[in-house]
Amino acid sequence: MNSFRFARAALRARPTMMRQPLQRRGYAEAVSDKIKLTLALPHQSIYKSLDVVQVNIPAESGEMGVLANHVPSIEQLKPGLVEIIEESGGSKQFFLSGGFAIVQPNSQLSINAVEGFPLEEFSSEAVRSQIAEAQKIAGGSGSEQDIAEAKIELEVLESLQAALK
Amino acid sequence: MAFAWKAAGLTYNRYLAVAARVVRRSLKEEQRIGVERRGEMDLKFAKWQNGKQGDNKNLADANTSAMAEHAGQQTAQ
């Protein structure tokens, strides 16, 4: 009998406990749904803390899209295409040679790379001729380092060729 | 993550340099001209021993031979 009364008291207590976090929700609406993007190369910064909607990056652990309030993380980038969806709704594509993307806790994203150019500045003809050249070196009888470098070049060029299609 | 270039003794720095070089070379002619010089590096160094300066050595050549020396070591770890 005593335990029954206790259970009823607990039932009555719960609704007030659940109401409290609901009231706090109003705060989230004040937070911006944009992410501040900084895209920097050693010689130039392409984006300088600009509000964008979404950034798709080719991380070594897989392709990922970064929106506002993303979990903080550090990702090594593969040579590949970075797609930026801007506030106006348009999107821009840059091919980066590889680097790091750092998602910071306060909706900031910093991308560092050695080289990065808009996709339209690449020549598919130059890519094709370099693939042939790199394949020759990779399959040749050069030093272990030369072959490894040719394989890196092939990785970059194949990614670039896929992006240009 | 295992990278094939690591087994050949290449450093991450070298990996980035090679990737950046090939990206620059893939540009259209008009963009490429001003940009290709960014990849050039011509540093020299000398080791000082017992108060005397040693031979001047090219850093790129020294790096290449160091990479060849370290080939295969990373995978053993």
3-class SS letters over A51-96? EEEEEEEEECCEEEEECCCCCCEEEEECCEEEEEEECCCCEEEEEE
Q: What residues of B are in contact with residue A152 (Cβ under 8 Å)?
A: 5, 10, 15, 18-19, 22
Q: Is B49 helix (H, G, I), strand (E, B) or coil?
A: strand
Greater confidence (B70 vs A35) lies with A35
Answer yes or no: do B57 and B76 share one domain.
yes
Could A43 and B24 be called an inter-chain contact, meaning their C-beta atoms sit closer than 8 Å? no
Q: What residues of A are in contact with residue B27 (Cβ under 8 Å)?
A: 117, 121-123, 126
pLDDT class of A140 with cuts at 50, 70, 90: confident
Nearest to A115 among B1, B20, B67 (CB): B20
Nearest to A143 among B15, B29, B68 (CB): B68
- What superfamily does domain A32-120 belong to in CATH? F0F1 ATP synthase delta/epsilon subunit, N-terminal (2.60.15.10)
| Cα B6 off chain centre by | 13
Other beta carbons within 10 Å of A22: 8
For residue B32, the number of C-alpha atoms closer than 13 Å in the C-beta half-sphere is 14
Nearest to B26 among A114, A147, A160 (CB): A160
Answer yes or no: do B49 and B15 share one domain.
no
Could B16 and A114 be called an inter-chain contact, meaning their C-beta atoms sit closer than 8 Å? yes
Answer yes or no: do B47 and B34 share one domain.
no
Answer yes or no: do B35 and B2 share one domain.
yes
Greater confidence (A19 vs A61) lies with A61
Q: Where are the domains of chain A?
A: 32-120, 122-164
- The structural domain count of chain B equals 2
Answer yes or no: do B36 and B46 share one domain.
no
Distances (CA, A) of A144 to A92, A101, A148, B9, B68: 38, 30, 6, 9, 8
Query: Is A162 an 8 Å CB contact of chain B?
Result: no
Answer yes or no: do B1 and B30 share one domain.
yes
Q: Is the model's pLDDT at A10 over the cut of 50?
A: no
Answer yes or no: do B2 and B35 share one domain.
yes
Express each pLDDT in B18-67 by its tens digit: 999 999 999 998 888 889 888 888 999 999 999 999 999 999 999 988 88
Answer yes or no: do B49 and B66 share one domain.
yes
The residue to which tokens 């240009």 are assigned = A164
Q: What share of chain A is helix, strand, coil (3-state, %, to 5)?
A: 40, 40, 20
Answer yes or no: do B46 and B68 share one domain.
yes
Distance from CA of A158 to the nearest CA of B (A): 11
pLDDT attached to residue A11: 47
Domain that holds residue B30: 1-40
Q: What residues of A are in contact with residue B64 (Cβ under 8 Å)?
A: 145
